[in-house]
Amino acid sequence: MRKTAIPSSYPAEGTYNFSTIHVDLSCATPGATIHYTIDGSEPDENSQVYCRDNGLLHLEGKHGSSVSFTLKAYAEAEGLERSRTVTFTYRFNCFAKGYFRHTMLREPADGCPGLMCIEDHDLDRMFLVIGTERAVLIDAGWSREGDLPTLCKELVGKDIPIDLVVGHGHPDHIMQVENFLAAGCKVYLPSRDLELAASFGVNPAPGSTFDLTEGMKLELGNACLTVYEVPGHTPGGVVLLDEENGDLYASDELGSCRRYVPDSAFLQLDPAFTLETNLRALDSFIEKTWGKVKRIFTGHNDDILDGPGYLHALRTAMAKAVEGGEEALRPSYRSAAESMGSGTIAWEGDWRYDPFWAAVNLRFLYDRDRDAVPPKYVKGFQPELAKFDDFLDK
């Protein structure tokens, strides 16, 4: 009898620096069932059955130490012999809190600002733009430990002011705010996200930070960053565009999807907004900046995104959800338990092979649905899992 094809995995086995990855299992035989274990034991017919629609397998490392998982899986299909068991080993080698790694993307030159990417222990990304007169760090990471202002000073290597600009008030983007204030740096944080930042324990003294509003310009000498408000991920979120060079710094406001954490771009709308308002905000941003965005630097994507291609994918995903409603959504790539109750995403493209793909988790949009009488939940939303605590413990 012919054998079922052996299972394969995505992403490939190997060593990861990031603390969380999501693994997909599949095989080339249509309709095959995959049994697996993640503790190194031999899988059999009593082992878990893999189902993508219940969320990809979630593997998690530990900061400052090494952890490994041995995943074993076989596939079986009707009328075929079962495949042999294959083994995949995933190792995590995560940085300790307080460690920041940095990489040079562009050396400073007279006509063009320098650009560096700095990542915290969990690889949350920040960007240091080095102009002739000032430097700006965009976002402030997930750890209070470590001295990011001093590292930036060392990286800039000349005596110019270094400002901090925070794109939005989430915990993985704000934790060094107080260190920057203590170092005497000018700190910008959208006022509409101050309350959110305070809820995560970052509570700068009133008046100590500067607001970011539509059309504001931050002059760096040989470069200028223009602020655009793009509410949706958070009420106050902003992005910054260096028009001259086509660089857009987007924090999480235009999505934040790693291929290994495929739908982390939650919409956390202000009660005054709807999904449609968010789509219109995106449309308005695209219209105002058309032809000016060459590339997008986000807080979490593994890659630097192609501006037009990515904006088109994101716009298409949002439009699908607005125009198609519930029927146009698909199960989240991550389980409902991991997605604060949401089992649904709006998406465009495939997270594994499309260069331009986008996935937006609509979890927060349904806070109001929960309070409706009778409650109306979008397919897959599990209110009993709608807790923020696990997320905060990270």
**Residues engaged in binding Zn ion (CB under 5 A):** 170, 252
Q: Is 384 helix (H, G, I), strand (E, B) or coil?
A: helix
Q: Select 22 or 170, whichever has its Cβ closest to Zn ion.
A: 170
Angle at 388 between CA 382 and CA 394, to 5 degrees: 125
Asked if 231 and 196 count as a contact pair (C-beta separation under 8 A), the reply is no
How far apart, in whole angstroms, are the C-alpha atoms of residue 188 and residue 191?
9
Question: Taking the chain, what is the end-to-end CA distance rounded to the nearest angstrom?
Answer: 49
Asked if 262 and 351 count as a contact pair (C-beta separation under 8 A), the reply is yes
Task: Provide the CA 197 distance to its chain's centre, in angstroms.
Answer: 17
Asked if 88 and 10 count as a contact pair (C-beta separation under 8 A), the reply is no
Q: Select 229 or 252, whichever has its Cβ closest to Zn ion.
A: 252
Q: How far is the CB of 222 from Zn ion (least distance, A)?
A: 30
Q: How far is the CB of 51 from Zn ion (least distance, A)?
A: 28
Q: Select 259 or 292, whichever has its Cβ closest to Zn ion.
A: 259
Tokens of 192: 């509409």
Q: How far is the CB of 252 from Zn ion (least distance, A)?
A: 4
Which residues, in sequence order, are CB contacts of 181 under 8 Å at separation 6+?
Answer: 187, 204, 208, 209
Q: How far is the CB of 19 from Zn ion (least distance, A)?
A: 16
Q: Select 178 or 252, whichever has its Cβ closest to Zn ion.
A: 252
Q: How far is the CB of 302 from Zn ion (least distance, A)?
A: 16
Cis peptide before 149 (omega within 30 of 0): no
Tokens of 307: 């501006």
Q: Select 247 or 252, whichever has its Cβ closest to Zn ion.
A: 252
Q: Select 234 or 289, whichever has its Cβ closest to Zn ion.
A: 234
Q: How far is the CB of 210 from Zn ion (least distance, A)?
A: 20
Q: What is the total residue count of the chain? A: 394
Q: Is 315 helix (H, G, I), strand (E, B) or coil?
A: helix
Q: How far is the CB of 176 from Zn ion (least distance, A)?
A: 16
Q: Select 134 or 170, whichever has its Cβ closest to Zn ion.
A: 170
Which residue type sits at 26?
S
